[in-house]
Amino acid sequence: MTTPVPEGGIAGDLSQDPARAPSPDATRPRTVAIVTGMSGAGLSTALKCLEDLGYEAVDNLPMNMVDALVEQGDLLSRPVAITVDARTRHFSSDALMARIEALAARPDLAVRLIFLECADEILQRRYTETRRRHPLAVDRPVADGILRERTLLAPLKERADVTIDTSLLSIHDLRRILAGHFKLSAEPTLHVFVTSFSFRQGVPREADLVFDVRFLTNPHYDPRLRPLTGLDAPVAARVAEDPDFEAFFRHLTDLLQPLLPRYNQEGKSYLTIAIGCTGGRHRSVFVAKSLAEWLGGQGYKVGLTHRDLERSGTRQG
């Protein structure tokens, strides 16, 4: 049951195709996911995503009730997701840190702190569009509230197990990232997500590994290929014909082959690999698609997206 508090941020329909997982193994520590971060970064949306994954979700919980919730009889066998943030009465980063450390010391709990980040200008735009007041700037400009909150939350961001920047994420991207990290499954299988992107739009902040393919032949300069994308056969053929492509791709897969099993052994359940070029339309799209196909052939669970393909238009790719 989620107790909603209007929080803004990422908007979208979470009611379709919920990804509820089976109950976790009772012999394993019970997951307690604590969600915090910048107001307007999508905290309530993230909590709803976790609820759809099978967590008992509680929004805007007072800190003095965290222990009581974890000990509640009818929840003892269920994972719990909680938002605690600047909206919460008597919020204190130090008090929340102390509460988290106390819970993390318990062998029966697996406590994970999720911090949602977002660029200041995007937060300001979201507050302007929704015409809401920032919780820490009731009688001040939104920018003042954002700065005050960023300072207040700095220790929690440093402590976070997972930090997600929602600046350029859609609701589906956020759902995918949370599912990758927090899906309820006893299966210790590494899920690899590959995304292409444009360096003009910035490096995906959720990326674990980033590869730059701007050295490859750029189809943008061929008027026949410019309107196409790396998903089209003529563009794929042009990039693949680059004399350095074959060696690069072989070295890339040779690098990943020993790394991925080690990530899996260390308990990492989700890995994001980002492939970038100038416009995110031609080279990176083809290489990301090729890498995803290779990973699938190695037996990994693979997701693929092209972050900037639609927004890149006819820009240099």
In order of 69, 122, 174, 203, 272, the CA distances from 168 in angstroms are 33, 9, 10, 10, 15
- 3-state DSSP call for residue 52? helix
| 272 marked among binding-site residues | no
In sequence order, which residues have a C-beta less than 8 Å from that of residue 155 and are 6 or more positions away? 93, 94, 97
CA 43: distance to chain centroid?
12
For helices 142-159 and 120-130, give the axis angle rounded to 10 degrees: 130
Burial environment of residue 296 by CB neighbours within 10 A (0 to 12, 13 to 18, 19 or more): middle
Residue length, the chain? 317
| 87 marked among binding-site residues | yes
SS3 letters for 163-199? EEECCCCCHHHHHHHHHHHHCCCCCCCCEEEEEEEEH
| 86 marked among binding-site residues | yes
| 160 marked among binding-site residues | no
Structure tokens at 191: 């899920």
Please tell me the distance from the alpha carbon of residue 49 to that of residue 312, in angstroms, as a whole number: 28
Binding-site entries for GTP: 85-88
Binding-site entries: 85-88
